[in-house]
Structure 1
């Protein structure tokens, strides 16, 4: 199935991804991972919640960690251009039979809670508490020196259907993997902010969250993080990498937090602002699509993901398989 043409004039204007809300089972242990090891900055704290931001971000948080008996993902957050876009988004999702509700979220203005066609929980807002800049407070930089949240990747049971839905929302496809035998999409990368992706979809049992990614200054920061993790008790949390993706051309590392939530550390992809930029097609059997160089991805990378709270994933429609490390 061909990638649908971009919708350059969507009903509402999404600026970018914004934040993720995780449930974690040990908030102190998660703080040791995200703050002490990765280097995210604490912007708010209660007895059961921790709010974090990266060094270039002005919004109050890009990660919310909520203490809970079981781990999971509560929502993926997105920022829209204006308050009016929230009302238009409410009408757009409602017209497609998706649940819509106005919810209260700390540090955010009016927030729309809804979901995509497979139930991925989404929250949209126009205003978040604005914090003073810290990008030149170099004494605060540590860990992998995270600069900003970059993208989400979710498992989808039908990537073609996910891409069609998100294209109608105004997300543009930059690269995609097609199974040559069936003509179906195995994966796709879609953006709003001008990078390779804000949102990506990987074929598999879903929907589940595959990973959240953070942009860092250089590949050397990733090497520094590996040294740090290997000597501070986190070596077993290194899952895949370092290496360079064929798709996106990015330098990457995949790690797991204490509850198994997958985090990608990411840099060096390319600009995609032009609205007429045609997407790049990859063959599923091309070994360089996932790894331009480096070891192939392990089986866990294709099979394990974080569950969305209250959502039961479904088997994928496409049964094709990429190259998996032995």
Structure 2
């Protein structure tokens, strides 16, 4: 299936991804992972919720950890340009016969919840509480020194359909993987903010959250995190990497939090702001697609993910096998 023509004038203006809510079963263990190990900063905390931001971010939070009986992914948050765009967004989703529920969110202005056609829970807002800058408070730089949230990656049962829908929202494809036999998309990377992706889609049972990624200063920060995790009881939580992706050219590491939510540590991708940027195609069987150095990903990376609250998980329509590590 050919890629859709980029939609440069969508019905409303999404600036970027913003935040994610993760339901976790043990808030203390999650705090030890995200705060003490990764180095995210606590901006608010209650008996059952922790709000976190990274070091370059001025918005109040990029991750919300909520205590729950069952671990799951909840809303993926996106920031729109203005209150007018927020109303236009609500009108767009209602026009698609998708739910629009106006909700109260701490530290955010007017916010509505919805779902994409596959059931991924989304929320949109225009304004979040702004906090003083801390990017020059170097005493706060701990763990992997996370600077900002970078992207989401989701398992989609139909990547072509996901790309077509998010193209309507103005997301532009930067790179994609095509199955040579069926000519269908196996994965695609789409952006709003001018990096390789704000949200990507990977073929598989879904919808499920594959991972949330954080941008860090250098690959050496990733090495430091590996040393820290290997010597502080987190060795089993290291899943894949370090390495350099063929897709995006980024240096990466994948780790799992205490509930199995996957976190990517990420740096060194490239700028994609030009509206006429041509997407890069990869064949599913190219050994440099996953890792520029040729190392394939483990089976868990292709099969395991976090279920979304309230979303029915269905099989993928495309039956195509990537290269998997033995």
TM-score by length of 1: 0.99
Aligned match of 1:4: 4
SS at match of 1:255: strand
> Hey, what's the Cα distance between the residues in 1 that align with 2:84 and 2:299?
44
SS at match of 2:149: strand
> Hey, what's the Cα distance between the residues in 2 that align with 1:154 and 1:141?
29
Deviates more, 1:291-300 or 1:89-98: 291-300
> Hey, what's the Cα distance between the residues in 2 that align with 1:227 and 1:295?
21
SS at match of 2:248: helix
Residues 288 and 294, structure 2, Cα contact 8 Å, conserved in 1: no
Q: Which runs of 4+ in 1 moved over 6 A?
A: none
SS at match of 2:313: coil
RMSD: 0.5
Residues 152 and 211, structure 1, Cα contact 8 Å, conserved in 2: yes
> Hey, what's the Cα distance between the residues in 1 that align with 2:103 and 2:86?
12
Aligned match of 2:282: 282
> Hey, what's the Cα distance between the residues in 2 that align with 1:8 and 1:226?
41
What pairs with 1:147-296 in structure 2 (closer than 5 Å)?
A: 147-293=147-293, 295-296=295-296
> Hey, what's the Cα distance between the residues in 1 that align with 2:228 and 2:117?
40
> Hey, what's the Cα distance between the residues in 1 that align with 2:91 and 2:312?
26
* Unpaired stretches in structure 2, ≥5 consecutive residues: none
TM superposition shift of 1:294: 5.7
SS at match of 1:282: strand
SS at match of 1:225: helix
SS at match of 2:99: coil
> Hey, what's the Cα distance between the residues in 1 that align with 2:129 and 2:27?
23
> Hey, what's the Cα distance between the residues in 1 that align with 2:103 and 2:34?
27
Q: Does 1:111 align with 2:108?
A: no
Aligned match of 2:120: 120
TM superposition shift of 1:295: 2.9
> Hey, what's the Cα distance between the residues in 1 that align with 2:171 and 2:318?
23
Instruction: Give CA deviations for 1:184-229 in whole Å, capped at 9, x if unaligned.
Output: 0000000000000000000000000000000000000000000000
Residues 241 and 295, structure 1, Cα contact 8 Å, conserved in 2: no
Residues 54 and 147, structure 2, Cα contact 8 Å, conserved in 1: yes
Aligned match of 1:308: 308
User: Aligned residues, how many?
Assistant: 326
Residues 154 and 202, structure 1, Cα contact 8 Å, conserved in 2: yes
TM-score by length of 2: 0.99
Aligned match of 1:100: 100
Residues 190 and 199, structure 1, Cα contact 8 Å, conserved in 2: yes
> Hey, what's the Cα distance between the residues in 2 that align with 1:96 and 1:143?
43
Aligned match of 1:133: 133
Instruction: Give CA deviations for 1:117-172 in whole Å, capped at 9, x if unaligned.
Output: 10100000000000000000000001000000000000000000000000010000
> Hey, what's the Cα distance between the residues in 1 that align with 2:122 and 2:134?
28
Aligned match of 2:57: 57
* Unpaired stretches in structure 1, ≥5 consecutive residues: none
Instruction: Give CA deviations for 1:92-119 in whole Å, capped at 9, x if unaligned.
Output: 1111111111110000000011111101
Q: Does 1:24 align with 2:24?
A: yes
Residues 242 and 294, structure 1, Cα contact 8 Å, conserved in 2: no
Residues 102 and 111, structure 1, Cα contact 8 Å, conserved in 2: yes
Residues 255 and 263, structure 2, Cα contact 8 Å, conserved in 1: yes
> Hey, what's the Cα distance between the residues in 2 that align with 1:88 and 1:310?
25
